[in-house]
Structure 1
Amino acid sequence: MISYAPFYKTLLSKGITEYQLIFRHGFSANILHRMKHGEAISTKTLDTLCFILNCQVGEILEYVAET
């Protein structure tokens, strides 16, 4: 299972809010909603987030084995 927990830690550490992603960077609120609910996002979206946050993919998502 893919977890987006690192994404929220990265936002916090960089001092960026979801509001700023949406209104300053034009990021889709729908994508943030999908991430909050653990749904799939595209590699293009990952690329955009890495660019905006100046981070690596591992700072946005992680694989968590299902038990």
Structure 2
Amino acid sequence: MINFSPLLKTLEEQEMTFKELIESHGFSSRTLAKIRKGESITLETIDRLCSILKVPIEQVVEILNDNGEKY
């Protein structure tokens, strides 16, 4: 299971909003809605987020097992 909590923390630390990702970086509102719901997004999107935020993937997503625990 993919968890986007690290992304939310990173956005907060960088004082960036989802609105800025849409307006300044061309993300669709649908993609960001998927992130908020914890739904799947493409690796390309994750890569774009890492590039824009200048962070490693661990600061955007984490993978959890079926019990909701980190591997």
RMSD: 0.9
Unaligned residue ranges in structure 1 (runs of 5+): none
Q: How many residues align?
A: 67
Question: Which gives a bigger RCO, structure 1 or 2 (Cα 8 Å, sep 6+)?
Answer: 1
**Aligned ranges for residues 35-50 of structure 1 at < 5 Å?**
35-50=35-50
TM-score, structure 2 normalization: 0.87
Unaligned residue ranges in structure 2 (runs of 5+): none
TM-score, structure 1 normalization: 0.92
Q: Percent identity?
A: 36
CA distance in 1: counterparts of 2:46 and 2:57, whole angstroms: 7
Paired amino acid for 1:23: E
CA distance in 2: counterparts of 1:6 and 1:22, whole angstroms: 19
Paired amino acid for 2:6: P
Paired amino acid for 1:38: G
